[in-house]
Structure formats: C-alpha cells, structure tokens
Amino acid sequence: MQQIEFIKGHGTENDFVIVPDLDGELDLTPAEVAAICDRRAGIGADGVLRVVASQHVPDWDGPDDLWFMDYHNADGSVSEMCGNGVRVFAHFLIERGLATGPVIDIATRDGLKPTEVLADGRYRVNMGPIEVDDDPVAVQVGGLGSEISAFPADVGNPHAVAFVDDLDVLELFHAPTWAPADRFPAGVNIEFIKPVGPRHIAMRVFERGSGETRSCGTGTCAAAAVAARRAGESTFPISYRVDVPGGTVEVELQERQSYLTGPAEIVAEGTFRLA
C-alpha cells in the first residue's frame, strides 16, 4: 500500500486536497482521485491539486522553473483551470516556502496564471480573457418548471450562466441538462445567478465533474462577465461582487483581462493510504 502526503485547503469553501508531487513521480489515476475526494470513504473534496515542477509535465511548453497546478475534479476528470484552486495552490506554495510573493506565476493547463498576494492576505489571480457567447443554450434544472436560457462563457474552461429569480428553489443534487446536447461536447459548468444590487450578484453552481460546490472561481468570473454583457457595460475596468454559498469574491473585468480576488485557507494535513 502506498501512502501519500496530503494537505487540505479551501477557497470560499470550494475544497481541495493538495498532493505535493514535486518531482512528478506520482501517477494518480482517476479512481485514486475519486477515492481521495470521496466524502465518506476518503478525505473529501471538490477536487485534487497535484503540485508538480513544470519541468516534469510533458504537455507544458512554457518556462520549466514554475509550479504546475495539475487539477482534477472529484470524479477523477481533469479540467483546464480552477480559479479557487489557484489561490489555494499559491497559499500552499508560500506556506511551504516553495515560492515567495508578491506575484507567483502558476502554470496550469490554461497557461500561466500570475497570482498576487495582497496585503490583506487575499489572493488576486490574473484569469486572462473571458469569451462570452450571446447565443444561449436552453437549460433544464430541478426546481424550475420550465427551461431557462444560459449564456456560454469560456474562462479557459467551459461555463454557461443563467439568470434566475430565486436561487433557493434550485435542486442541484441532479445535474442540469442543456440543449442542444452537442453544444458542450466536453461538458460544462453551469452557474445560476441572481442580481442583488449594482454590480453585485449571488450565485450557485453545478460543476462539471464535482456536482454542486459552495463556490467556483472560474464560475464567478463567467457570471460577472455575462452579467456585465447583459447589462450593456462598455466602460472598463469594472468590478463585480459575487456572493456564493461559501463566501464572497471580487471579479474585476478589464477590456481583455479579468482578475479574481478572494481568500485561501489551509486547514489540515496528513497521510492518505492509496488502496
């Protein structure tokens, strides 16, 4: 039986198991990731963040002196990006002395994500450009009698954002479905948002590969970008406050960049027995 070191952390209660594998020696299978993330038989988490030196990542074609965030969803699938995960990853690197601030360049499947440690202890991630599609898909979700429209937004990973009048009625223990079904061949994260005030929205999310989570950083960026587009915002930069069940983050939208600011916490560490 193999024992691996783990650290548990979260960003606005989007929780992760961090697995340090600095020299890239660990080949975590989807089944092993799912076992780690199992909330009854494992540690429990929305995803796994494997920490590996970029020189040991065959598909990475950027600088070879960075830390690569190898992100996995709770079901073992991989995603291009995780916004809350990047903040927690940066916090781990600093706590371990593997990086110093104020800005850390983190390598991801969606490229470099420069992440700044702010004086108040929060982290501000340059999330890059967000592409919003004005052609909606029809989403069917539990708790609502009829279909609703959701606007696709690409934050490096795929999202669709729907406006609702009441977040509390949504039944997100079943995956929403969308039509046409071939619109997101690799699946999609679906955000439900309700305007709360000027540039202030509340959000719930059903994540691809993880189910309902208490926050999704890339999802908050998609939500803010869609809300700004539907509100006809045309002068940038602007900032949105996004309330999620696990807390609050800020999303700054510039012409061609977006920034996600929020907290990151480390709460536990130990060893896990891989079966």
Ligand X SMILES: N[C@@H](CCC[C@H](N)C(=O)O)C(=O)O
Give the active site residues.
82, 216
Measured CA to CA, the distance from residue 154 to residue 226 in angstroms comes to 10
**Does 157 appear as a known binding residue?**
yes
Using CB under 6 A as the binding rule, whether residue 54 contacts ligand X is answered as: no
**Does 126 appear as a known binding residue?**
no
Pick the stretch among 35-43, 109-117, 133-141, 215-223 that binds ligand X (CB under 6 A): 215-223
- Residue for token pair 């916004």: 83
Using CB under 6 A as the binding rule, whether residue 115 contacts ligand X is answered as: no
Instruction: Say if CB 44 and CB 15 are below 8 A apart.
Output: yes
Residue 174: name the closest of 137, 130, 131, 206 by CA.
206
CB of 244 to ligand X, least distance (A): 10
Selected from 216, 226, 244, 253, the binder of ligand X by CB under 6 A is: 216
Using CB under 6 A as the binding rule, whether residue 209 contacts ligand X is answered as: yes
- By CB under 6 A, the residues from 7 to 46 that bind ligand X are 14
Residue 128: name the closest of 141, 145, 114 by CA.
114
Alpha carbon 160 to its chain's center:
14
- By CB under 6 A, the residues from 65 to 104 that bind ligand X are 73, 79, 82-85
**Does 83 appear as a known binding residue?**
yes
Query: Which residue, 35 or 153, has its beta carbon nearer to ligand X?
Result: 153
Using CB under 6 A as the binding rule, whether residue 227 contacts ligand X is answered as: no
Residue 165: name the closest of 136, 188, 196, 135 by CA.
196
Measured CA to CA, the distance from residue 252 to residue 83 in angstroms comes to 13
Binding stretches for ligand X (CB under 6 A): 14, 47, 73, 79, 82-85, 157, 189, 207-210, 213, 216-219
